[in-house]
Amino acid sequence: MEKHLSANGTTMAAIDSICKLASRRPVKQSIEEKLANNLTGFCGVVAWIAILKDLSSPPVVLPSDTPVDPVAVQVILSEVDRSEKAWQGDFFLVDKKSRLYARLLPLLRAPSRAAGALQESDDIFAVPVLAESTGNSNEFSRLWIVFAVFPADGHPGGPVYDQIRLFGQSALLAWDSAERTAEANRKEGVIRETIRTMPGLKELVGETPVMENLRLEILRVARSDNTVLLVGEQGTGKEVAARLIHYYSRQADFQFICRRLAEELKVIMNRSKGFYPSDFTTVGIVNAEFRDVPGVGSLPGKARRSSKQPKPVDEEAEEVQNKAQRNRLAKELDPDLMREVGAQEQGLRTRKSLPPVFRALVRTLHRLWKENPLFNFFEFDSGAASEGQNISAELFGVPAERFTGVAGGPGRFQSASHCGGTLFLDNIHHLPRAVQSALLKATEVIHEERCVTRSGAATSEPVHIRIITASTEDLGQLVDEGKFLPELASRLMVEVIRIPPLRDRREDIPLLASHFAARHGKTVGADAVELLIKPDWKDANVRGLRSVVESAASRTDGGCIRRKDIEAAWASIFSATPEMPGQVMTQEERMVREALEKTGGKVQKAARDIGWSRQKLYRAMDKYGIPRGKGRDS
């Protein structure tokens, strides 16, 4: 009993090892070797072949080094089709006088024997592992059969044939898995190649696996409106990734922009009383709200109502103007888009002045969209904000002062929302805590609950935008250090994409260098590429590589950038040399150090010379490891 259990356990372990091959995406050769070892080692088989028949592809014969005669294989399969035992799924002894035996004999070899030949006393057993047919067909549509050779005096018992069938089934599963994996890999390769050549994604130069995965991640997150956090070192291309996410999102689809525009006009007019003086006209309010959208300009019409008695409206003349406006719009828009405009216009007819304004805005925005699909991609760099700058006003806008006459206006959130666009908040980790708190309602995970309050206003207004943020710091670590609100971090980290640094994809440096050089009509020599691969590009990355290559391109006399050109460019940008391993000094760090050295360490004077606030200079000093005690304030 113990012996039986031990043998059974060993057999199951062998079968399990075959199945594990499939989970590890094995090559078919590994499956074949495993099957051969199990048949000879566990079952005592002298020689064997296995044939896989599938009507959708040519037959496969194992072992793969078997000298295959296609005619012989077809005869063997035909003979099996005629076997009643095969149709019943039972193993059977092959008659030595049959055509089947005659065709099998040349294919079978016994590796354990010196000559490798079979003896006349050897018997061949056929063990069907899988036998499938369709309809009333008299042949198998799919067949996996093992032909095993045993000595005439060493016929095994029935359990051995069951073991052969088990090993054959396990091998078939692994084989099918390998086939599916090979097909999946082929399709994945086609998909990745297609993605690599897609418009826009060509900006992500590189063929390393990390770049291919980055392209797939960008396309994945672009399909939803989830908030995205891009994490990466300076110069890795976070802004490029943000623009691509917008480019492939619905925010770059003009039909979506058209629907959002109609909804935004309703919101603007419903809440205008709280933000603008009562004498502002519809045109005046809309011009004020869209003033920060590049290229929109001012819609024609009066911005304020006159105190005089208004003239009676000539409805007939007004309808003629509306018809002419629709005709002009129809010439510029395709029929589907024009139908969308008509449908949205119906919902604006409750306010008579809105449809003409809507059509004028659609025409303007459509022209901008055709010229640049990123026209509604808005950016705000938190790290570039000066010390005295009112960041809340920049982001959330301010209401107009009724009594002082100070013009109010929207912030980045409202401008992006009006155009159905995307707001990219770069260097989000630099935001002051007060602004972080104000961002909580604007970054709600449920989009319908997002709203902002203009600086100094009493009421809030809804915003419908896609939010993308970027940081060079780990927000989780900043939360642990008490420098970032955990509530805001959780809202911003719905989708996190990590942009790889250049040192993690050195294989892409030759491609990147050639790409940047080609913009100037130059090529890059092998000696120059060899030099560019050496440094780790920390805190410089792709942006630093581009600066070096473009600077070298302007220095070379010929059409090819050489090593000496790279060295000269490097010396003008970084304080180190390209031969030095480790971190390179960025142009910003070099500027900060030189300013502090020139002023004798006086931070306030150094900041004034650079054109920065003292707070921003302190942040840069901390970033580059420059001790604050190096100088003194004055």
| Residue 277: φ, ψ to 5° | -60, 155
| Angle, in degrees to the nearest 10, between helices 2-23 and 158-196 | 20
State pLDDT tens for residues 572-581.
777 555 554 4
Which residues sit opposite 377 in a β-bridge?
422
DSSP string, 505-563: GGGGHHHHHHHHHHTTT-EE-HHHHHHHTSS--TTTHHHHHHHHHHHHHHH-SSSEE-H
State pLDDT tens for residues 65-120.
787 788 888 999 999 998 888 888 888 899 988 999 888 888 887 665 555 667 77
Positive or negative CA dihedral for 434, 439, 445, 449? Answer: positive
For the cut 90, the answer to whether the pLDDT of residue 297 exceeds it is: no
Per-residue confidence at 406, pLDDT binned at 50, 70, 90? low
Of 185-194, 215-224, 353-362, the least confident = 185-194
Looking at residue 439, what is its pLDDT? 92
Q: CA dist 285 to 407, 441, 450, Å? A: 11, 25, 22
State pLDDT tens for residues 496-513.
999 999 999 999 999 999
State pLDDT tens for residues 463-492.
999 999 999 999 988 998 888 999 999 999
Q: What is the mean pLDDT of the chain?
A: 81
Of 57, 48, 28, nearest to 141 (Cα)? 57
| Spatial distance between the Cα atoms of 527 and 614, rounded to a whole number of angstroms | 43
Of 40, 163, 35, nearest to 91 (Cα)? 163
Give the 3-state secondary structure percentages of the chain, helix then strand then coil, rounded to 5.
55, 10, 35
The burial of 66, by beta-carbon neighbours within 10 Å (0-12 exposed, 13-18 middle, 19 or more buried), is given as: middle
For the cut 80, the answer to whether the pLDDT of residue 141 exceeds it is: yes
Looking at residue 512, what is its pLDDT? 94
Tokens 């039909």 map to which residue? 255
State pLDDT tens for residues 350-399.
777 788 888 889 999 999 999 998 999 999 988 776 555 688 888 998 88
Looking at residue 1, what is its pLDDT? 37
Q: Are strands 466-471 and 495-498 parallel, antiparallel or unpaired?
A: unpaired
Residues whose CB is less than 8 angstroms from the CB of residue 482 and which lie 6 or more positions away in sequence, other chains included: none
Name the residue with higher pLDDT: 536 or 400. 536
Looking at residue 486, what is its pLDDT? 93
Tokens 């104000």 map to which residue? 438
pTM above 0.75, yes or no: no
From start to end of 217-303, where are the E strands? 228-231
Q: CB-side exposure of 547: number of CA atoms within 13 Å?
A: 16
| Residue 505: φ, ψ to 5° | -145, 55
* 86, 142 Cβ separation under 8 angstroms: no
Which residues sit opposite 524 in a β-bridge?
561
Looking at residue 355, what is its pLDDT? 87
State pLDDT tens for residues 104-116.
888 887 665 555 6
